[in-house]
Amino acid sequence: MSVQVTREVFDEVMVPNYAPAKIIPVRGAGSRVWDQEGREYVDFAAGIAVSGLGHCHPKLVEALKTQGEQLWHLSNVMTNEPALRLAKKLVAATFAEKIYFCNSGAEANEAALKLARRYAIDTYGAHKTQIIAFTQAFHGRTFFTVSVGGQACYSDGFGPKPGDITHVPYNDLAALEAVISDNTCAVVMEPLQGEGGIISPTDEFAKGVRALCDKHKALLVFDEVQSGMGRTGELFAYMGLGVTPDILTSAKALGGGFPIGAMLTTTAIAAHFKVGTHGSTYGGNPLACAVAEAVLDIINTPQVLAGVKQREQLIRQGLEAINAKYHCFSEVRGKGLLLGAVLNEDFKGRSRDFLLAAIDQGLLVLVAGASVVRFAPSLIVPEEDIREGLARFEKAVAQVVGA
């Protein structure tokens, strides 16, 4: 029996933890998608910074088809060639010496938090368990990661939270210094806050966090689930900050749309995840790793990474031109192709209005809180799509402001 699929079916059969738009996209190519009615949209969202190479990139399709005809799944009782190839390439490209694969950013962060605690307890004793994170952070939806994330709206209402977690304001080094101690096992931060409003760290803050971690023998964990895999114009954002973490997490664009996450760390720290201490049924499966290897091969090239910074300037210039006409943004912030247009006082709290108006005009964008419109297009979005997307966004802005 065939089922007629409409947006109303979501309300009938799906748990209501999402509120999806009325349209249902059914096909994508590059930086364009088409809905059930055949209407075309320019995609400046990329599935929340996931489709870093756009939709149905031929090299990713080829990798998936090739691996799909060879081997789909093995338990971690055995290893597989795609996982080992991908791990070797990640080690070669980063500070890391050891890799752990999983299925999502939340799982990568869960692994990082567990490893940080295990390392600290093994090395220094049972007292060293404090985790410090930052307000307005976002680290995933498991109970541990959502408790570490600094947004109570995501963690309240589920009963007692995991303990010994402290939150301080982002970019406030004095606040961190006031709470960090020799009982701290880890400081967890995004090197560019995404969900919290597209906020970059100052150089002083980033380097100061590293210094305080060193002083108190705490691990520095960088959540690069959203900022990594070329998003800022470097393979990972830490490379542009000049600050090297002890543990790094990746997901989202790592698989180009195919679910995969990874935790990267050093040999000395990884040694504390002995056999049986952590695991994942699907983590490191051949399909995901084959696709991610293709993604890494494409993104980690001078041409693509330099192109990110060029595209950033085009989008910034376009948003500034729109703002000069409609006066709705206080600033455009972020780095690379993770940008946020911050709504000014006249439009504060209305980011979703801009998102919905953009859909009306044939453009997909995101929000980062109630007052920031977020742009996270494909890293290789064509310039013609940037121009067309900005033209459609201008129409959306005019629709919201009533011009």
Active-site residue identified among 252, 273, 329, 375: 252
C-alpha distances out from residue 59 to 26, 250, 296, Å: 20, 21, 11
Q: Is 4 annotated as a binding residue?
A: no
Helices (H), 330-402: 351-360, 383-401
- Is 138 noted as a catalytic residue in this protein? yes
236 catalytically annotated: no
Structure tokens belonging to residue 88: 């070797």
Question: Please, are residues 106 and 256 in contact by the beta-carbon 8 Å criterion?
Answer: no
What does the block give as tokens for 85?
């190839």
The verdict on whether residue 394 carries a ligand-binding annotation is no
Can you spell out the DSSP letters for 54-88? -BS-HHHHHHHHHHHTT-----TTS--HHHHHHHH
- For the chain, the residue count is 403
Residue 203 near residue 241, CB atoms below 8 Å: yes
Catalytic pick among 138, 205, 354, 375 = 138
d(CA 349, CA 353): 9
With 0-12 / 13-18 / 19 or more C-beta atoms within 10 angstroms meaning exposed / middle / buried, residue 77 is: exposed
* Residues facing 250 on adjacent strands: 262
Binding residue per annotation — 62?
A: no
Residue 120 CB neighbour total at 10 angstroms: 25
Q: Is 141 one of the annotated binding-site residues?
A: yes
Contacts of 209 (CB under 8 A, 6+ apart): 173, 176, 187, 189, 201, 220, 243
d(CA 292, CA 264): 15
Q: Bin 231: left if φ > 0, else alpha if -120 < ψ < 50, else beta.
A: alpha
* Catalytic one of 43, 223, 246, 385: 223
Cα radius of gyration rounded to whole Å, the chain: 21
Pair 354, 27: CB distance under 8 Å: no
Alpha helices in 221-327 (DSSP H): 238-241, 267-270, 286-299, 302-326
Is 336 annotated in a binding site? The answer is: no
* Integer Cα distance of 211 and 3 in angstroms: 58
| 224 labeled binding residue | yes
Q: What gap in Å lies between CA 217 and CA 128, rounded to an integer? A: 10
How many C-beta atoms lie closer than 10 Å to residue 392's C-beta? 22
Annotated binding site: 105-106, 138, 141, 223-226, 280-281
Annotated binding site for N(2)-acetyl-L-ornithine: 141, 280
So which residues are the catalytic ones?
138, 223, 252
Annotated binding site for pyridoxal 5'-phosphate: 105-106, 138, 223-226, 281
